[in-house]
Amino acid sequence: MVYLLAVAAMLQLTACGSSKTYGDVKFITIPPGAQVVNLKDDTNLGMTPVQVTWEGKDGKPEYVTVELTKKGYKNDITSFWVNTRHETREAAAAEPQPVTVELQKRK
């Protein structure tokens, strides 16, 4: 009986636990110098070229939509999946996913 309770408790802890995983994206625009904003929460992620780390759970990918803005160019909205397969931020930073966008000049 005690053994069964111990096994049940272990299974419950294992099922509830999830591990943090990480993925990096390197934003590049042509020309450089565009602001990158995460449309999920309006967070300013920086100016291109910029590398950003995403935190996930259990290596599950995350769908991200960003807006790229630069004076004199049309705004661009792009969406992509971030692969959060790395166990550390450092490992993710060493292998960023490239997201390259060519901005169109305003007429």
What is the architecture of the domain spanning 19-102? Answer: Sandwich (2.60)
Per-residue pLDDT of 33-52, as tens digits, reads 999 999 999 999 999 999 99
CA distance 47 to 50: 6
Structure token pair of residue 2: 């005690």
**Least confident range of 4-8, 54-58, 59-63, 101-105:** 4-8
Bond preceding residue 61 cis, omega within 30 of 0:
no
* Sequence-distant (≥ 6) Cβ neighbours of residue 66 within 8 angstroms: 27, 36, 37, 38, 39, 45, 77, 78, 79, 99
| Residue boundaries of the structural domains of the chain | 19-102
**Least confident range of 6-10, 40-44, 47-51, 84-88:** 6-10
